[in-house]
Amino acid sequence: MIVTCPSCNARLRFNEKALSSDNPSIQCVRCQELIPIVLPSGSAPDFEEQTLIHHPTEVGWIIVHDEYTEVQTLPLTLGLQTIGRASVSKPCEVMIQTQDRYMSRQHLTIEVVKTKEGSYKYWLSEHPSCTNPTFINTHPLQKSTTLEIIDGATLQLGKTKVVLKTLSTAQNARKATEEVAHSDYLQTVLF
């Protein structure tokens, strides 16, 4: 059978009989991404050329796009995840490597939800322990507010700016990073 890697679009041939309930995925030989495989019922003969249903593990990315911090592309998955400054003592799911002391170690939560139509919604709120400012497209985020954010939204966590990229406009992390890298920086909100 043949499957297309969702990250680098490599076409990979594999033997579906080599898969088991203990090993329901293959690794891309080009980008090394682990690709979960869902075999169709009544599996087809060996090496039949068809595209399998792929359930992406990455459904969006947070991309650091800031004049003062190195570019970083961090994956988002379905469900609730916390975003913040990298820390050993207070880790979170999406850790940004930065020296920005105005970014909390647990700054925001993003919940990614799949709709009935198969698209994704991205819901944002400040983490309860966050004491530092957050801005969305230069507008302050009000405490105890949950907002839906869309592809291309620029979030300022402390003084560090990040951009949300989603599967609706970028098929993989590399393309998402390239799109953001070719865009202008939003003005940093001073506080």
Question: At 177, which CATH number?
Answer: 2.60.200.20
- Say what the pLDDT of residue 150 is: 97
> Looking at 25, 55, 85, which one is the last position of a domain?
55
Residue 189 within a domain: no
Query: Is the sign of the CA dihedral 144, 169, 105, 138 positive or negative?
Result: negative
Q: Are residues 41 and 75 in the same domain?
A: no
pLDDT at 119: 92
Q: Are residues 14 and 76 in the same domain?
A: no
Q: Is residue 140, in this structure, part of any structural domain at all?
A: yes
DSSP 180: H
Is 187 contained in some domain? no
pLDDT of residue 41: 53
pLDDT at 53: 43
Residue 40: phi, psi to the nearest 5?
-65, 150
The predicted pLDDT at position 1 comes to: 66
Looking at residue 18, what is its pLDDT? 66
* Threshold 0.95, pTM exceeds: no
Residues 28 and 84 in one domain: no
141 domain residue, yes or no: yes
From 9, 24, 55, give the residue that closes a domain. Answer: 55
Question: How many CA within 13 A on the CB side of residue 163?
Answer: 23
Is 117 in the same domain as 159?
yes
Task: Determine the structural domain holding residue 69 and report its residue range.
Answer: 60-181
Residue 83, in any domain of the structure? yes
pLDDT averages per 10-residue partition of the chain, 191 residues: 71 69 72 72 42 64 92 94 94 94 96 92 94 94 92 96 95 93 87 74
Residue ending a domain, among 14, 37, 55, is: 55
User: What's the domain count of the chain?
Assistant: 2
- Whether 136 and 158 map to the same domain: the answer is yes
